[in-house]
């Protein structure tokens, strides 16, 4: 996500590199490029115009640090203004004084409301909450069934309710059924000790009066703590217009942008908050229940400007990786005890928990020593990891623990068992040997350094004695 905007902004900053000072001429040239970058990334025209004027005023009207180059000065100003547009702080949830707190999910059909409701429930569970899900979409039985599947997959409470499928286009009857289901679900959430009720509402292909009236009735009945507008980021300005319409009718409290993994422009993220005045709270970044992250404006701006998002990557690692296994591996690898293929397979599995290599590398900076990494990520063959694991799986435990015994006949057997060429087995063994040698070198170097430090601090005595 944001690749196009990031690339185009980087291009606009290049026009200032090599210049000695900021002048009206080079500022205007850079701003033309930035404006074009914003519009090509589907940022709302008025938002882009206001942003450019604000950057211009800051660039011409403030004293900048003499230690910064003109390009760095503009980057700093753009960063500050983008953070202002997106919101200076990470949005927080509001909760009712008496549970359950109700979260009303709003949006058009196809925006991903049902899947997002499940993702939000999973995210809340990780924070210690007990969410309950309910679908009040009485128009599409498939939507209710989909929410049931989602709830089962994340082991969340679901209130199904009972009603006869609608056989007529009686809007009044439909609305009465919707309100009854919502009221029953709120009561059930309280009875089951669930502190949050997530209400997945019906959508339409477009905004109409019936949809808005039904949402207004739900708001009046449930008094929700949050009304979250779910928008498909790939629809760009259509998502912004829909958000504006829902906000005018319902006064939404925030937005969730879905399918961000498929949108390289990012214009909707920059526009929705400015148009509605309400923060973007979450991003949907994939199909899996955990492909969901809180929206941190400062981190997003860092991604847009090519500075990476190390904080989110570290949070993901802390959540996904087994700390005890990582520490045990590091201790073993650096102690000289060896780095077996069994260890290698375990590390591959740990890395895969973080997501694709593309998603990992895109969180690294794209400037300085990391320049080119994000482009290189596109050339990574994710299937190669599966092939490597398959090769190791085809080995016996004795072979995985001692790769030196793998002779020619064993290599043929392993290749046949994993469905690869013998050359791929040979490459893996060669890479493993090189990595083992590297770890042994690092380990021996660390031991020598530790011995030297101990001798300096206490004549060779152990620390703490």
CB 78 within 8 A of CB 9: yes
% of the chain surpassing 90 pLDDT = 25
| pLDDT confidence of residue 148 | 92
* Domain shared by 135 and 235, yes or no: yes
The pLDDT of residue 434 is above 50: yes
Q: Are residues 163 and 236 in the same domain?
A: yes
What's the mean pLDDT in 441-450?
53
Residue 7 has pLDDT above 80, yes or no: no
Torsion-angle region of 193 (φ positive above 0: left; ψ -120 to 50: alpha; else: beta): left
The reported pLDDT for the residue numbered 300 is 75
Across the range 382-389, mean pLDDT stands at 81
Same domain for 106 and 220? yes
Residue 232: the pLDDT is 83
Can you read off the two tokens belonging to residue 115? 């899947």
Higher pLDDT, 140 or 320: 140
Which range has highest mean pLDDT (42-56, 68-82, 212-226, 357-371)? 212-226
Region for residue 325 given its phi and psi (left: phi exceeds 0; alpha: psi -120 to 50; beta: otherwise):
alpha
Q: Is the pLDDT of residue 329 over 90?
A: no
Q: Which of 86, 115, 142 is the last residue of a domain?
A: 86
Instruction: Answer whether residue 340 shows pLDDT above 70.
Output: yes
The 3-state DSSP class for residue 292 equals strand
Residue 47: CATH number of its domain: 1.20.120.140
Q: Are residues 64 and 111 in the same domain?
A: no
Of the spans 81-85, 115-119, 140-144, 322-326, which averages the highest pLDDT?
115-119
Task: Look at residue 401 in the predicted model and tell me its pLDDT.
Answer: 87
Q: What is the pLDDT of residues 102-143, one digit of tens each?
A: 999 998 888 889 999 999 999 999 889 999 999 998 888 788
| Inter-residue contact 217 to 175 (CB < 8 Å) | yes
pLDDT at 132: 96
Domain residue limits at 357: 321-458
Same domain as 177, residue 130: yes
Instruction: Give 11's pLDDT tier (boundaries 50, 70, 90).
Output: low
Domain count, the chain: 3
Would you call 149 exposed, middle or buried from its count of C-beta atoms within 10 A (0-12, 13-18, 19+)?
A: exposed
* pLDDT tens figures, 346-364: 878 777 777 666 666 665 5
* Residue 403, domain CATH: 1.10.260.30
Which residues fall within 8 angstroms of residue 336, CB to CB, at 6 or more apart? 440, 443, 444, 447
pLDDT of residue 273: 82
Q: Are residues 326 and 285 in the same domain?
A: no
pLDDT digits (tens, 9 = 90+) for 214-252: 899 999 999 999 999 998 877 767 778 888 888 888 899
Classify residue 109: in a domain, yes or no.
yes
Tokens of 74: 């503009």
Long-range CB contacts (< 8 A, 24+ apart) of 82-86? 82/51, 82/270, 82/301, 82/304, 82/305, 83/297, 83/298, 83/301, 84/54, 85/47, 85/51, 85/270, 85/273, 85/274, 86/269, 86/270, 86/273, 86/280, 86/295, 86/297, 86/300, 86/301
Question: Which residues contact residue 139 at a Cβ distance below 8 angstroms, ignoring those fewer than 6 apart?
Answer: 166, 174, 202
> Is the model's pLDDT at 84 over the cut of 70?
yes
Q: Specify whether the CB–CB gap between 76 and 55 falls below 8 A.
A: no
Q: Which residues pair with 294 in a beta bridge?
A: 282
- 439 has a pLDDT exceeding 90: no
Total Cβ atoms within 10 A of residue 307 = 19
pLDDT at 462 exceeding the cut of 60: no
What predicted TM-score, i.e. pTM, was given to this entire model? 0.64
pLDDT for residue 240: 81
Indicate the pLDDT class of residue 464, thresholds 50, 70 and 90: very low
What distance lies between CA 176 and its chain's CA centroid? 38
Q: Is residue 315 part of a domain?
A: no
Cα separation of 138 and 145, whole Å?
11
């Amino acid at each position: 996500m944001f690749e196009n905007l990031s690339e185009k902004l980087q291009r606009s900053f290049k026009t200032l590199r090599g210049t000695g000072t900021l002048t009206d001429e080079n500022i205007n040239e850079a701003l033309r490029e930035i404006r074009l970058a914003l519009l090509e990334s589907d940022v709302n025209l008025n938002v882009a115009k206001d942003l450019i004027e604000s950057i211009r005023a800051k660039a011409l009207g403030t004293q900048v640090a003499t230690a910064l180059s003109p390009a760095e000065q503009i980057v700093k100003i753009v960063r500050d203004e983008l953070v202002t547009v997106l919101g200076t702080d990470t949005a927080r949830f509001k909760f009712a004084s008496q549970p359950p707190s109700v979260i009303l999910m709003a949006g058009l059909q196809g925006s991903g409301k049902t899947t997002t409701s499940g993702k939000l429930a999973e995210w809340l569970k990780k924070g210690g909450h007990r969410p309950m899900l309910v679908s009040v979409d009485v128009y599409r039985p498939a939507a209710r069934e989909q929410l049931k599947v989602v709830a089962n997959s994340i082991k969340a409470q679901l209130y199904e309710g009972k009603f006869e499928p609608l056989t007529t286009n009686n809007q009044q009857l439909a609305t009465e059924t919707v309100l009854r289901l919502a009221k029953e679900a709120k009561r059930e959430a309280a009875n089951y000790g669930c502190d949050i009720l997530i209400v997945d509402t019906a959508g339409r292909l477009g905004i109409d009066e019936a949809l808005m009236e039904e949402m207004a009735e739900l708001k009046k009945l449930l008094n929700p703590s949050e009304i979250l507008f779910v928008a498909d980021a790939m629809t760009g300005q259509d998502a912004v217009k829909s958000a504006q319409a829902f906000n005018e009718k319902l006064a939404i409290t925030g937005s969730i942008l879905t399918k961000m993994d498929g949108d390289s422009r990012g214009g909707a993220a920059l526009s929705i908050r400015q148009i509605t005045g309400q923060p973007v709270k979450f991003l949907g970044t994939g199909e899996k229940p955990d492909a969901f992250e809180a929206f941190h404006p400062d981190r997003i701006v860092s991604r847009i400007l090519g500075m990476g998002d190390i904080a989110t990557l570290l949070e993901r690692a802390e959540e996904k990786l087994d700390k005890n296994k990582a520490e045990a591996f590091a201790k073993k690898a650096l102690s000289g005890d060896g780095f077996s293929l069994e260890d290698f397979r375990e590390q591959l599995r740990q890395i895969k928990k973080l997501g694709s290599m593309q998603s990992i590398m895109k969180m690294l900076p794209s400037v300085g020593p990391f320049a080119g990494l994000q482009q290189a990520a596109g050339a990574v063959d994710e299937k190669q990891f599966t092939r490597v694991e398959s090769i190791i799986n085809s080995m016996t435990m004795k072979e995985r623990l001692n790769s030196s015994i793998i002779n020619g006949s064993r290599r043929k057997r392993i290749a046949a068992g994993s469905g690869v060429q013998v050359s791929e087995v040979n490459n893996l063994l060669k890479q493993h040997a090189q990595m083992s040698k590297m770890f042994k070198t690092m380990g021996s170097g660390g031991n020598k350094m530790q011995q030297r430090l101990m001798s300096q601090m206490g004549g060779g005595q152990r620390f703490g004695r």
